[in-house]
Amino acid sequence: MRKQILLIAVSVFLIIGFFTVSVTAAEAGSGKVLCLDSAYCVKSDEDLAALNDKLNDISARQNCEVVIYTTNTFDGKTPTDYADDYYDASGYGWGKDKSGILFVINPQSRDWAISTCGFGITAFTDAGQEYMVEQMSGALSENDYLTAFNQYADLCDEFITQARTGEPYDNGSLPGEEKDINLAVDIIIGLVIGIIIAFIIVGTDKAALKTVRRQADANNYIRSGSLRLTRQHDNFLYKNVDVTERESSSGSSTHTSSSGATHGGSSGKF
């Protein structure tokens, strides 16, 4: 009997403990405004709230804050500087190294900028950012900001998950550059390989039937060691050098914001 009471007591204690931790985590996750829509790009409040929840969920799950900010002015700064400063000033970022990514949109000037920090720099390579903006460009050009922001959130989630494996999406390994299994293509490739190899084999057999050939040279009749060179030279004439640019490098480039923090990022027009 005492054993049973002890068991129940321990169970109750564990359940209460679990809920306490869950509630704390939930509060921490939903406490922040991760999409601040100063330029009113998202028309409906419900959509904005849902988007915020989504960003909070991703940020908490990934330990890396995913942030969106819309503004009608860059206060005279470059989009990149503005994004960096906004990120630093608003105290975004997860953990000590302030891991996170910020996407700033100016619907007036049609500029965008991305600022990354901490693990965000690792997860979002230059090529990765370019890929993300490319994915959003359709929605952005139609001023369908809600769709673009949702795409951004999903892409960030995917990119961070990928980066946790130790191999962030980069040049040559972006999502679109992967191969899908396509059996039809494989069969066609197999058929072509089969036909080519079969032709080589029967071609070899066919060629073996012909043994009568003219002799173009008289190499067999050169008296061995009879070659004597009486004069020879190898004179250098001139040289030229072809220079070509190397392909764009992979990885994330970084810079330092006005507050002295290290950021990755990029910017452009849409």
Query: In the complex with other proteins, which residue's Cβ is closer, 99 or 125?
Result: 125
Instruction: Pick the binder of other proteins from 2, 3, 96, 214 (CB under 8 A).
Output: 214
Selection from 46, 40, 55 nearest residue 145 by Cα: 40
Q: Which of residues 149-178 bind other proteins (CB under 8 A)?
A: 178
Stretch of 114-122, 138-146, 159-167, 240-248 contacting other proteins, by CB under 8 A: 240-248
Instruction: Pick the binder of other proteins from 17, 95, 175, 190 (CB under 8 A).
Output: 190
Query: In the complex with other proteins, which residue's Cβ is closer, 44 or 230?
Result: 230
Task: Decide if residue 223 touches other proteins (CB under 8 A).
Answer: yes
Strands 100-106 and 65-70 come out as: parallel
Instruction: Pick the binder of other proteins from 3, 44, 183, 260 (CB under 8 A).
Output: 183
Instruction: Pick the binder of other proteins from 182, 253, 256, 258 (CB under 8 A).
Output: 182
Cα dihedral across residues 143, 147, 153, 156: positive or negative: negative
Instruction: Supply 161's token pair.
Output: 């998950």
Task: Measure the CA–CA gap between 113 and 154, rounded to whole angstroms.
Answer: 18
Query: In the complex with other proteins, which residue's Cβ is closer, 110 or 206?
Result: 206
Task: Decide if residue 5 touches other proteins (CB under 8 A).
Answer: no
Is residue 14 within a helix (H) or strand (E), and if so which, with residue range?
Answer: helix 2-30
Task: Decide if residue 242 touches other proteins (CB under 8 A).
Answer: yes
Strands 100-106 and 111-117 come out as: antiparallel
Place of tokens 């204690």: 13
**DSSP letter assigned to residue 72:** S
CA end-to-end span of the chain: 71
Task: Measure the CA–CA gap between 68 and 39, rounded to whole angstroms.
Answer: 12
Instruction: Pick the binder of other proteins from 12, 191, 254, 269 (CB under 8 A).
Output: 191
Instruction: Pick the binder of other proteins from 199, 255, 256, 258 (CB under 8 A).
Output: 199
Contact residues toward other proteins (CB under 8 A) are: 178-183, 185-187, 189-195, 197-199, 201-202, 205-206, 208-223, 226-246
